[in-house]
Amino acid sequence: MKNIKSKNVLITGASSGIGEAFAYQFAALGANLIIVARSEIELNNVTETVKEKYKVNCYPIVLDLSKENAANELFQKTNSLKLEVDVLVNNAGVGAIGKFEDYDLKILLMH
């Protein structure tokens, strides 16, 4: 994206790993963040780092997106903050260990 400055970027799975890296990269470009994860402590650590280092707005939302109705809850929370999402980085998900060709797709797709 050429001009992400001051846009609102919602990043799921943002408390660690790739999601956390996305948060720092978008913040470095001047984007405001809405970060979502299950781990409140880690999410708050990312929030503080983003605010202190990059001087952008960062709104943490503690939420387990694997729960029923979580997407609607996230929508309601962003609305209550009066935030419109310009960019979505959907990084939350279910993982599996091993070779892809060995996955039991019926089990994997149930998540």
48-65: per-residue pLDDT in tens? Answer: 999 999 999 999 999 998
pLDDT bin (cut points 50, 70, 90) of residue 6 is very high
- The confidence score (pLDDT) of residue 8 equals 98
Q: Given a cut of 80, is residue 3 above it in pLDDT?
A: yes
In the chain, where do the E strands start and end? 8-12, 32-37, 58-62, 87-89
Question: Do residues 35 and 62 make contact, with C-beta atoms less than 8 angstroms apart?
Answer: no
pLDDT in tens, 76-105: 999 999 999 999 999 886 666 677 677 777
pLDDT bin (cut points 50, 70, 90) of residue 2 is low
- The confidence score (pLDDT) of residue 102 equals 79
CA-nearest of 88, 35, 29 to 53 is 29
pLDDT bin (cut points 50, 70, 90) of residue 67 is confident
Question: Do residues 39 and 8 make contact, with C-beta atoms less than 8 angstroms apart?
Answer: no
Q: Given a cut of 70, is residue 36 above it in pLDDT?
A: yes
Residue 73, both tokens? 């809850």
Architecture of the domain whose range is 8-110: 3-Layer(aba) Sandwich (3.40)
In 2-57, where do the E strands start and end? 8-12, 32-37
- The confidence score (pLDDT) of residue 87 equals 96
Distance CA 78, CA 81 (A): 5
- The confidence score (pLDDT) of residue 61 equals 98
